[in-house]
Amino acid sequence: MIELRNGGFAYPGGASLFENLNFTLGRGESLSILGPNGVGKTTLLKTLLGFLPLGEGEFHIEGCGKGKEFWNIVSYIPQAKTPSFAFTVLDMVLMGRASSVGIGRAPGKKDYEKARDALTLTGMSHLEDRPVNRISGGQLQLALIARGLVKDPSLMILDEPESNLDMKNQLIILDILDYLKREKNTTIIMNTHYPEHALRLSERALLLGKNCRYRSGETHEVVTEQSIREYFQVESALIEYSRGDRNIRGILPIHHI
Amino acid sequence: MIKSLEKSSIPLSGMLLLIVILLSLAAGRYSLSPVQVLRVLSSHISGADYDGPVLDQTVVLSVRLPRILLAAVIGASLAAAGCAMQSLFSNPLVSSHILGVSNGAGLGAALGILLSGSIIVIQGLSVLMGLAAMGLTLVVSRSRKGSGVHMLVLAGVMVGAVFQALISLIKYIADPEEKLPTIVYWLMGSLAGTSMKDLLYGVPALVISLAVIFFIRWQLNVLSLNEEEALSLGVNVKLMRLLVILSTTVISAVSVSLSGIIGFVGLVVPHVSRMITGPDHRTLVPVSIFLGASFLVVVDTLCRSLTTAEIPLSILTALIGAPFFTWLLMKTGGSWND
Show the domains of chain B with their CATH numbers. 3-332 (1.10.3470.10)
Per CB-CB distance under 8 Å, the chain A contacts of B92 are 84-85
Residues in A lying within 8 Å of B, measured between beta carbons: 46, 49, 51, 68, 71-72, 74-76, 78, 83-88, 91, 95-96, 98-101, 103-107, 129, 131, 133-134, 147, 151
| A74-102 residue pLDDT tens | 999 998 888 888 899 999 999 999 888 88
**Per-residue pLDDT, B335:** 57
| Residues B280, A87: C-beta atoms closer than 8 Å | yes
| Residues A75, B224: C-beta atoms closer than 8 Å | no
List CB contacts of A123: < 8 A, sequence separation 6 or more: A142, A172
| Residues B232, A74: C-beta atoms closer than 8 Å | yes
Residue of A nearest to B90 (CA): A84
Q: What is the CATH number of the domain that holds A21?
A: 3.40.50.300
Mean pLDDT, to the nearest integer, of B211-230? Answer: 92
Alpha helix stretches (DSSP H) within A27-136: 41-49, 68-73, 89-94, 109-121
List CB contacts of B43: < 8 A, sequence separation 6 or more: B49, B50, B57
Mean pLDDT, to the nearest integer, of B214-242? Answer: 90
- Number of domains into which chain A is organized: 1
Residue of A nearest to B274 (CA): A85
Number of H-type helices and E-type strands within chain B: 15, 0
| A177-221 residue pLDDT tens | 999 999 999 999 999 999 999 999 999 999 998 888 899 999 999
| Residues B234, A68: C-beta atoms closer than 8 Å | yes
| Residues B337, A133: C-beta atoms closer than 8 Å | yes
Q: CA-to-CA distance for A74 and B231, rounded, in angstroms?
A: 11
CA angle centred on A198, ends A194 and A202, rounded to 5°: 160
How close, in Å, is residue B199 to chain A by CA atoms?
27
Q: CA-to-CA distance for B290 and B292, rounded, in angstroms?
A: 6
Q: Which of A84, A105, A151 sits opposite B90 (nearest CB)?
A: A84
**Per-residue pLDDT, B47:** 83
Substitution target in A95, A140, A152, A158 with the highest count of B β-carbons within 10 Å is A95
List CB contacts of B216: < 8 A, sequence separation 6 or more: A103, A104, B240, B243, B244
Chain A / chain B CB contacts < 8 angstroms = 84
| Residues B234, A85: C-beta atoms closer than 8 Å | no
How close, in Å, is residue A188 to chain B by CA atoms?
16
A98-107 per-residue burial string, b: 16 or more CB within 10 A, e: under 16: bbbbeeeeeb
Q: CA-to-CA distance for A229 and B324, rounded, in angstroms?
A: 63
A236 has which bridge partners?
A253
DSSP state of A131: B
Domain hosting residue A163, numbered range: 2-256
Q: Which of A76, A83, A133 sits opposite B232 (nearest CB)?
A: A76
| B165-175 residue pLDDT tens | 999 999 999 88
Mean pLDDT, to the nearest integer, of B216-242? Answer: 90
Q: B32 — phi, psi (to 5°)?
A: -125, 160
Asked whether the predicted pLDDT for residue B211 surpasses 80, the reply is: yes
Substitution target in A43, A85, A99, A130 with the highest count of B β-carbons within 10 Å is A85
Q: B257 — phi, psi (to 5°)?
A: -65, -25
Q: Which of B1, B3, B218 sits opposite A107 (nearest CB)?
A: B218
How close, in Å, is residue B154 to chain A by CA atoms?
20
**Per-residue pLDDT, B186:** 84
**Per-residue pLDDT, A52:** 86
Q: CA-to-CA distance for B310 and B190, rounded, in angstroms?
A: 8
Q: CA-to-CA distance for A192 and A177, rounded, in angstroms?
A: 13
Q: CA-to-CA distance for B320 and A226, rounded, in angstroms?
A: 71
